[in-house]
Amino acid sequence: MSHRTVRVAILALLLLGCGTSRPPCDTGPPQVLLIGDSITFGLASEPTGPGYATLLSERLADTHRVKNLGREGASSLDWAGSGFPGGDLFVLLAEPALPADIVTILLGTNDAAGSGELRPVSPESYGNAIRTLIRRCLAAGAGTVILMAPPPAWFEKPENPSRLSGYQTQVTEICGTDARVICGPDLFHLMSKRPPDFQAFDVHPTARGHEKIANALEHSILENDCR
C-alpha cells in the first residue's frame, strides 16, 4: 500500500469520526436553552440594544429553537438550589424545558457582588454550584452544556474583579471533566469592562457588548450542535 493510499485512508477515518462525534438531533431543529442572570435576560447599559439572547434567537431562527431562561438578580447558587433566601431556579425554569440539545450557562456577575446573597460567592463555592447545575442539566436531558466565563464587569470594590478571575479559572477546570461539557466563549478575556463593551457604574454590557457575546456564542453553538 502506497504512502498516499495510507494518508487517504487515515483522512477518511478522521472525517468519519468527525461526522459521528456530535449526538444526533432527536427530532426537528436543535433546541438551545440559555441559562443566566440579567445579562442573559437582556438588560443593557447605554447605548442600549437587543440582548445577546435576542440576537441569537434572530440569527438562528431558521435552524434552531432558542429559549431564554435568564433571570434578573440570579446567582449560580440560585440555579443550583442553594441560594438565599431560597428557591430553585433549575426546578422552576430549566427542568420543565429539558431535554434540550444544548444548554448554555453564563453566571457570575451577581455572585461576585453578592447580589441577592448573604455575601459574595467565593470561586470555590461558585465552582461547586456550577458543577451541581451541570450535573442536573445532564441528568435532565441536556445533550451538550456550553459553559462561559463571566465578563469583567465594572465594580466599586476592587476585590470583586479578582473573584471574577477566580470564576474564570473554575470554568476552565470544569470544562475538562466531562466530554459533554464544552468551554464556550471566555468573556472574562474577550470583553473589556470599559466602553464600548460596558459603561462605567453598570455591570450590564452595552449593545456592542451584547453583540460581542452573541457573535462568540453563535460560533460555539454551531460548532457543537447535533446536526
Q: What pLDDT shows up at residue 67?
A: 98
pLDDT tens digits for 119-169?
999 999 999 999 999 999 999 999 999 999 999 988 777 778 889 999 999
Beta-strand relationship, 181-186 and 142-149: parallel
Locate 93 and state its grid cell.
425554569
CATH of domain 28-224: 3.40.50.1110
| pLDDT above 70 (res 10) | no
Q: Which residues of 155-175 are buried (b: 16+ CB within 10 A; e: fewer)?
A: beeeebbebbebbbebbeebb
> Hey, is 102 helix, strand or coil?
strand
Q: What is the mean pLDDT of residues 84-108?
A: 96
Q: What pLDDT shows up at residue 201?
A: 87
Among 2-16, 55-69, 73-87, name the one with the lowest average pLDDT: 2-16
Contact 198, 153 (CB under 8 A): yes
Among 118-122, 210-214, 222-226, name the one with the lowest average pLDDT: 222-226
Q: What pLDDT shows up at residue 219?
A: 97
| pLDDT above 60 (res 28) | yes
The residue among 41 and 11 whose pLDDT is bigger is: 41
Closest by Cα among 63, 61, 87, 59 to 73 = 87
| pLDDT above 60 (res 14) | no
Q: What is the mean pLDDT of residues 193-222?
A: 95
Burial of 55: CB neighbours in 10 Å, binned 0-12, 13-18, 19+: buried
Q: What is the mean pLDDT of residues 34-60?
A: 97
Chain position carrying cell 464544552:
182
Looking from the CA of 134 toward its CB, the CA atoms found within 13 Å total: 26
pTM of the model: 0.88
183 contacts: CB under 8 Å, gap ≥ 6:
146, 147, 171, 172, 175
Cβ atoms within 10 Å, residue 58: 12
Among 16-30, 39-53, 93-107, name the one with the lowest average pLDDT: 16-30
Q: What pLDDT shows up at residue 157?
A: 75
In the chain, where the domains are located: 28-224
Q: What is the mean pLDDT of residues 158-182?
A: 92
